[in-house]
Structure 1
Amino acid sequence: MSSIMINKADLNDLEILQSLGRETFYETFSAHNSEEEMQHYLDKSFASEKLTAEINHPESQFFIAWEEDLPVGYLKVNSGKAQTELQNETSLEIERIYVKSSYHGKKVGQVLYEKALEVAQEENKKYIWLGVWEENLRAVNFYKKNGFIQFDTHIFKLGNEEQIDLMMKKTLH
């Protein structure tokens, strides 16, 4: 495998982010949810207007992982008021790290995570946090391996389905 490059995304990358977001979310969660709920969530969450607003938010940043000219994963981090919860000025939220399933096990998620860590350090954050579905053991174990500990839970709604996310954080030095 050639090396993975990480580039900051902007509005010019809207269609790439929509495609990556829809594909990777579907790959990750479709086996556990109805097709109808999945399509509703994807249509709502990756609508052009919603994604444009997220990209334009001054306290959110998107990064795309590329293998040559192929986008293979992406990262979204939030600080300040862009955070989905906590909204502490000393924290950075990893809202999304998604990698195409064909690239699982190839360290793309690790490279994206390290980019989030770099952003947190550049912004002098005290800790980094995220929510991860309790049944996504691959992701839970990934974060544990990277030093995250669970501190709470919250409900994530996918359509009418309520799912439990583990709230995890890592204190930075």
Structure 2
Amino acid sequence: MTVETVSSSPAFDAISFTISVAKPSDAADVAALGGSVFFESFAWSMPAQDMDNYLKSSYSSDAIRAEIQDTITYRFYVARDSNDPGRLLGFVQLNRFSDEPCLKIKPPNTIELQRIYTELKAHGRGVGTALMKTALDYAIEQGYKAMWLGVWEHNLKAQKFYQRNHFEKVGDHDFKMGSCVQTDWILERHF
């Protein structure tokens, strides 16, 4: 799928990108983007050693490649710049088997939006919206009745994005990274 966005802001040029199912060859780019965005967004909120350990375990190329190859559990989509296909603009990761006690609809009828990240320079340019639409379309096509996600209680920008996409808070849980424990809100959307 090729998408071209037209920015309503004069500060941003239009951007054209393609969205496709991720392949193992995308793992290094997904790991680099995911680790970079996670660090830039959250490093200030936790001890440096906890951040470093989390990035090494969750955003190594090997860890991401293993998840991309596990097509029973995960579904990944990547958004690449149409004019520079080597540039990854964003990705979304879905998890078919995760659960939370507060969910109103349980597996196998729900799917988790585990990660949705865009390059910081791509924020506000339609990449995240297109990745969200792709994820929602996939979930509906596959017969899921709901989608859920966890978002940090202090990540107001992400919360607003999810609210615009009709997700509602149904609970919370602790998100542990080493000695650091943060509260994530659990949001759910029914189809």
Match of 1:71 in 2: 88
Mind listing any 5+ residue stretches in structure 2 that lack a counterpart? 1-13
- Greater CA drift, 48-57 or 132-141: 48-57
Pairing of 1:87-126 with structure 2 (within 5 A): 88-126=107-145
TM-score computed with the length of structure 1 as normaliser: 0.91
Query: Secondary structure at the residue paired with 1:106?
Result: coil
Distance 2:177 2:154 in 1: 14
Cα distance in structure 2, aligned partners of 1:125 and 1:12: 28
2-side partners of 1:165 and 1:52: how far apart? 26
- Per-residue CA deviation, residues 18-51 of structure 1 (Å, 9 max, x unaligned), is 1111111112212222332211110111234422
Q: Distance in 2 between matches of 1:84 and 1:162?
A: 19
Kindly indicate whether the alpha-carbon contact (under 8 Å) linking 2:174 and 2:181 is maintained by their aligned counterparts in 1: yes
Cα distance per residue 1:114-156 (max 9 Å; x no partner)? 0110111110111111010010000011111111110010000
- Residue number in structure 2 paired with 1:42: 55
Q: Percent identity?
A: 32
Question: Is 1:25 aligned to residue 42 of structure 2?
Answer: no
Picking from 157, 172, 180, the partner of 1:153 is 172
Which residue pairs with 2:5 in the alignment? none
Q: Say which SS state the counterpart of residue 113 (structure 2) adopts.
A: strand
Counterpart-to-counterpart distance in 1, 2:123 and 2:99: 26
One-letter code of the match for 1:73? Answer: G
Structure 1: where are the runs of 5+ without partners? none
User: For residues 48 and 146 of structure 1, what CA distance do their matches in structure 2 show?
Assistant: 30
TM-score, normalisation: structure 2: 0.83
Q: How many residues align?
A: 170
2:148 aligned partner:
129
SS at match of 2:150: strand
Q: After superposition, give the CA deviation of every residue in 1:55-98 in whole Å (9 maximum; x if it has no partner).
A: 1221211111112221011100011x3x2546601111100001
State the alpha-carbon separation in 2 of the partners of residues 48 and 141 from structure 1.
30
**Larger helix percent:** 1
Question: For 1:48-67, what aligned pairs fall within 5 Å after superposition?
Answer: 48-57=61-70, 58-67=72-81
Q: Structure 1 runs of 4+ off > 3 angstroms?
A: 84-87
Asked whether the 8 Å contact 2:99–2:107 carries over to 1, the reply is no
SS of alignment partner, residue 143 of structure 2: coil
In the alignment, is the contact (CA less than 8 A) between 2:174 and 2:182 conserved in 1?
yes
